Structure 1
């Protein structure tokens, strides 16, 4: 696949990934390869999404191809891909705002978590429950069918994510973005690959579709002005739990 990417790119279209990159297919599910292998083992925090979308896959493939064509070695090219493609676009600002609101920036000793995508990127590892991009019925996979119930998806958690989380120490915080990545990490914690206390669950996924939830999580919208699609009690509970968990982590650092 590496040679194919080197020869074909940078002309990849995220919505029409070539069959040469197809890893698995079952019914309406398709799993494609994208170069997201780099792991920042020195990270203090791990941000875990559900799976790269078409836009992220396109950025990753084209960035990797251009890096290789410029003579950059494979390891450096993969590191550049992670920085360029992970949570690319407006998701970064929404995610940073939520992390700052609960105090992750204070835990890390930085002004803002926007730096995790820039000058402080050495402190973070970006990943996904399903590292290779998944499409369902031709669209970005959003959680159905359930990844832990579908063998065509679960293998990525058992064979890829499990090995990845084991490369981090017990002081590293894992932040799943949305309930589906949280379920994957909790599944691995039950298998002993990380501790449940390392998982900071409850932060909404930073996609545009969650704009109202993000605003309420950051306390920028009143409860009585929420639509019926947003469960205020769930978000209130998650926000309070995360702040308490971060406070405990901070205290333990000085014990």
Structure 2
């Protein structure tokens, strides 16, 4: 089994040990890269779950996640925990673990047949604590801030050299480590990063679940239409049901194909 690279974490280990500020953005020792209005701050999101069957890909960790991960890493490092375990605990603590987002995600994965692909009653079983059957990651592994604010996809990560390098270094590393997992991008920005890696031959395009609505509670109407819980004819003006229904059909067919044609 291939192991993930610890060199970046080792580089910032001393900074983590001495970190005790409420805001990691203002700590020079935690700056991973900087160009113009873009700052990349190191936070310990290096761990890759080696047995993951599903990879959930966001854009980049936000400030709150970064602070949580750094706090957890510092605590365990100062307690003498080995670095790989420090990184594992920090990553798991900072990843989402429940609530509406997870419930929506499970419902949508079950609806398109991922549970049957993995011979499960429900994909909820993938989220068993400590099992690490789900790997949470980001197109941009380390937190990115633009003018001091959480990066929202602008400027385009693939047209911005310091961001594209992160995709082609760290996300690419994860693609190589987890070639047989299903890859679920949360939104079009994360999807574009995965498509980029697929185009480079680093990821099997058939294993990218493109088009699934973002499972956040704020996206409830789109999720409900995707799941058939709301009549698409009753969709509000802000929601176009057509691409949601098309994505549902395409993803069902994609999973069936991966499952040997079985629905």
TM-score category of the 2 structures, normalised to the smaller one: 0.7 to 0.9
What's the Cα RMSD here? 2.3
Conserved in 2, the CA contact under 8 Å of 1:56 and 1:88? no
- Select which of 150, 166, 169 maps to 2:160: 150
Give the whole-Å Cα distance in 2 for the aligned partners of 1:39 and 1:138.
28
Q: Kindly state the Cα deviation for residue 76 of structure 1 after the two structures are TM-superposed.
A: 0.8
Give the whole-Å Cα distance in 2 for the aligned partners of 1:240 and 1:20.
48
Conserved in 1, the CA contact under 8 Å of 2:62 and 2:150? yes
- Select which of 180, 190, 198 maps to 1:181: 190
Q: Secondary structure of the equivalent of 1:206?
A: coil
Q: Kindly state the Cα deviation for residue 36 of structure 1 after the two structures are TM-superposed.
A: 0.8
Residues 1-255 of structure 1 aligned to structure 2 (within 5 Å): 1-9=12-20, 12-13=22-23, 16=25, 18-87=27-96, 90=99, 91-119=101-129, 121-169=131-179, 171-251=180-260
Q: Kindly state the Cα deviation for residue 38 of structure 1 after the two structures are TM-superposed.
A: 0.8
Give the whole-Å Cα distance in 2 for the aligned partners of 1:120 and 1:104.
21
Partner of 2:7: none
Could you report, residue by residue, the CA deviation over 1:23-73 in whole angstroms, capped at 9, with x for unpaired residues? 222233221111011112222221111111122112211111122223221
Conserved in 2, the CA contact under 8 Å of 1:17 and 1:32? no
Structure 1 residue runs of 5 or longer lacking an equivalent are none
Q: Kindly state the Cα deviation for residue 89 of structure 1 after the two structures are TM-superposed.
A: 6.1
Q: Kindly state the Cα deviation for residue 241 of structure 1 after the two structures are TM-superposed.
A: 0.8
Q: Kindly state the Cα deviation for residue 181 of structure 1 after the two structures are TM-superposed.
A: 1.1
Residue 55 and residue 7 in structure 1: after superposition, are their counterparts in 2 closer, same or farther (change >3 A)? same
Residue 96 and residue 6 in structure 1: after superposition, are their counterparts in 2 closer, same or farther (change >3 A)? farther
Residue 108 and residue 195 in structure 1: after superposition, are their counterparts in 2 closer, same or farther (change >3 A)? same
Give the whole-Å Cα distance in 1 for the aligned partners of 2:17 and 2:119.
40
Q: Kindly state the Cα deviation for residue 120 of structure 1 after the two structures are TM-superposed.
A: 6.8
Give the whole-Å Cα distance in 2 for the aligned partners of 1:222 and 1:96.
21
Normalised by the size of structure 1, how large is the TM-score? Answer: 0.87
Conserved in 2, the CA contact under 8 Å of 1:83 and 1:117? no
Q: Kindly state the Cα deviation for residue 212 of structure 1 after the two structures are TM-superposed.
A: 2.5
Q: Secondary structure of the equivalent of 1:122?
A: coil
Alignment: residue pair count? 250
Residue 252 and residue 144 in structure 1: after superposition, are their counterparts in 2 closer, same or farther (change >3 A)? same
Normalised by the size of structure 2, how large is the TM-score? Answer: 0.85
Q: Kindly state the Cα deviation for residue 215 of structure 1 after the two structures are TM-superposed.
A: 2.5
Residue 166 and residue 232 in structure 1: after superposition, are their counterparts in 2 closer, same or farther (change >3 A)? same
Q: Secondary structure of the equivalent of 1:182?
A: helix
